């Protein structure tokens, strides 16, 4: 019998007793016996529910722990890949090689694309016209880059060099 069925039958039994069974000792006795059986069924069902709830909670906790463990392993793998990539790039740069073709991969050291980075040496010395007012002061690097690329100068700022990356295909 399901929890829903037990609950429905208990509610029906209580309603029937309130409507008809108060005056008859036989009806009251039958009510008590049936109510006792339903109460036992309800208690058994409650025990099953509690066991299932505990099982679900335990499984969820184990899965969360496994997720955290797997996340830590993934982060570790990412960090190792970054260190290995940096070591290979350094070795290739040190030996003057910009490309290595293997049986499985092509490794090449390439310049990063995009805008040249703006290096702010002293944020306090950058003129106010290149600052964007916010809760905190932010330097307008795009405006500074435009001036520097056009050959102008901005005190406290200079154009940097593009970085490089190891590309594996």
Please check whether residues 132 and 155 belong to one and the same domain. Answer: yes
Which pTM does this prediction carry? 0.52
Token pair listed for 94: 């040190």
Q: For residues 123 and 141, give the distance between their C-alpha atoms in angstroms, rounded to a whole number.
A: 11
Please check whether residues 89 and 102 belong to one and the same domain. Answer: no
**What is the model's pLDDT at position 23?**
65
Centre a 10 Å sphere on the Cβ of residue 9 and count the other Cβ atoms it contains. 17
Please check whether residues 45 and 61 belong to one and the same domain. Answer: yes
Please state, for a pLDDT cut of 70, what percent of the chain lies above it: 95
Sign of CA dihedral 31, 36, 37, 39: positive
More confident call, 104 vs 2: 104
Please check whether residues 127 and 151 belong to one and the same domain. Answer: yes
Please check whether residues 63 and 85 belong to one and the same domain. Answer: yes
Domain that residue 133 falls in: 98-168
Q: Where are the alpha helices (DSSP H) in 95-164?
A: 141-149
Q: In what order do the strands lie in the sheet with 106-111?
A: 99-101, 106-111, 164-168
Please check whether residues 87 and 102 belong to one and the same domain. Answer: no
- Name residues whose C-beta falls within 8 Å of residue 83's C-beta, 6 or more positions apart in sequence: none
> What is the per-residue pLDDT across 70-120, written as a single tens digit (0 to 9) for each?
999 999 999 999 999 999 999 999 999 999 999 999 999 998 899 999 999
As a whole number of Å, the end-to-end CA separation of the chain is 62
Number of domains in the chain: 2
> What is the per-residue pLDDT across 30-61, written as a single tens digit (0 to 9) for each?
777 878 888 888 889 888 888 899 999 999 99
**What is the model's pLDDT at position 61?**
96
Please check whether residues 110 and 155 belong to one and the same domain. Answer: yes
Average pLDDT, the chain: 88
Task: Name the domain boundary from 33, 64, 93.
Answer: 93
């Amino acid at each position: 019998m399901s929890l829903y069925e037990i609950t429905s039958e208990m509610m029906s039994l209580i309603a029937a007793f309130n409507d008809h069974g108060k005056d008859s000792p036989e009806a009251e006795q039958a009510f008590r016996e049936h109510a006792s059986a339903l109460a036992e069924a309800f208690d058994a069902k409650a025990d099953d529910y509690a066991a299932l709830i505990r099982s679900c909670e335990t499984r969820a906790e184990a899965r969360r722990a496994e997720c955290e463990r797997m996340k830590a392993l993934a982060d570790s793998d990412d960090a190792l890949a970054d260190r290995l990539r940096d070591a290979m790039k350094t070795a290739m740069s040190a030996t003057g090689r910009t490309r290595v073709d293997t049986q499985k991969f092509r490794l090449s050291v390439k310049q990063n694309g995009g805008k040249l980075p703006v290096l702010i040496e002293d944020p306090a010395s950058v003129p106010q016209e290149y600052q964007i007012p916010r809760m905190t002061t932010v330097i307008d690097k795009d405006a500074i880059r435009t001036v520097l690329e056009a050959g102008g100068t901005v005190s406290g700022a200079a154009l940097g060099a593009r970085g490089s990356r190891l590309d594996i295909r």
